[in-house]
Amino acid sequence: MSIIEAIILGIVEGLTEFLPISSTGHMIIASSLLGIQHNEFTKLFEIAIQFGAILAVVLLYAKKFFQFSRWQFYVKLIVGVIPALIFGYLFSDKIDKMLESPTTVTITMLIGGIILLFIDNFFKNPVIDTDEKINYKRSFLVGCWQVIAMIPGVSRSAASIIGGMQQKFTRYVAAEFSFFLAVPTMFAATAYSLFIKKWGNGDEAKRGFQLITETAQNTTAFLIGNAVAFIVAIIAIRFFIRYLKDHTFKVFGVYRILAGIILLILLFTGVIKG
């Protein structure tokens, strides 16, 4: 992977990770159009690049993450991440196989787009307008919704925001809690990909950090990709939060449908393989 390719994928990750439009779907589109070889390092990179996005949330919401007297905040996040940890551990191999299926991503992008067109009509009269009002039960149930995002193309952000709205959160609070929940969820996924999971087959299989440090080019691509994702994610999160104060999710629904159509075209023309 070249430095330019790492920068482009970093921009894609930063822009799409926290918006309800599926970072996975956009990674597939970007990688295909760039002609990036889908080897073990590339697969690792597309997961581990989330680390930069995690840091963006921690920086923007530093007061919440480092206000240790509010211990309930941390407990809510732990409770919320439990479903993802369990399902991620049990179905890791199946999830990896689905990640290699652009057809799955295409279908979920289109379905998710249609849902977002009408989501504001499904859940009305929210009562949870601050994160302090979120109890442990609601945290856990939002975490269960987040599990749906293990299907590539669903979008972790979209699933957890919809889960929050189903639990009577306002759009604003649902989005913020989605960001908070992303930190332990994505940190766990990144740590697993770097230090536990073995990439490759047989004696040649390596852990993620070994792939990254295998060559100077891999190390540079990893560091630059995460740095770019961090910067762009800060911009994307600020935009999203401001946007939701006065707007619905319809524009993201339309966008997902258009992105799904692009994926369909790429599949039918053979640019990417289903």
Number of structural domains found in the chain:
1
- Distance (Å, whole) CA 113 – CA 102: 16
Question: What's this model's pTM, rounded to 2 decimal places?
Answer: 0.89
Confirm whether 170 is domain-assigned. Answer: yes
Which residues span the domain enclosing 135?
A: 3-268
DSSP string, 35-100: T----HHHHHHHHHTHHHHHHHHHHHTHHHHT-TT-HHHHHHHHHHHHHHHHHHHHTHHHHHHHHT
Give the tens place of pLDDT for each residue, 202-248.
778 899 999 999 999 999 999 999 999 999 999 999 999 999 888 88
Whether residue 173 is contained in a domain is answered as yes
Check whether 272 has a pLDDT greater than 90.
no
Q: Is the dihedral of CA 107, 112, 118, 122 positive or negative?
A: positive
The answer to whether residue 221 is domain-embedded is: yes
Tens digit of each residue's pLDDT (9 = 90 or more) over 151-204 = 888 889 999 999 999 999 999 999 999 999 999 999 988 998 999 888 888 778
Task: Specify if 252 maps to a domain.
Answer: yes
Share of the chain above pLDDT 70, in %: 98
**274 part of a folded domain:** no
**Which tens digit of pLDDT belongs to each residue from 112-130?**
999 999 888 888 889 999 9
Dihedral angle computed from the Cα positions of residues 38, 25, 234 and 63, in that order, rounded to the nearest 10 degrees: -100
Q: State pLDDT tens for residues 40-90.
A: 899 899 889 999 999 999 999 998 899 888 899 999 999 999 999 998 878
How far does CA 96 lie from the centroid of its chain? 15
Domain annotation covers residue 273: no
Residue 60 pLDDT: 94
Give a yes or no: residue 184 inside a domain: yes
Asked if the structure places residue 19 within a domain, the reply is yes
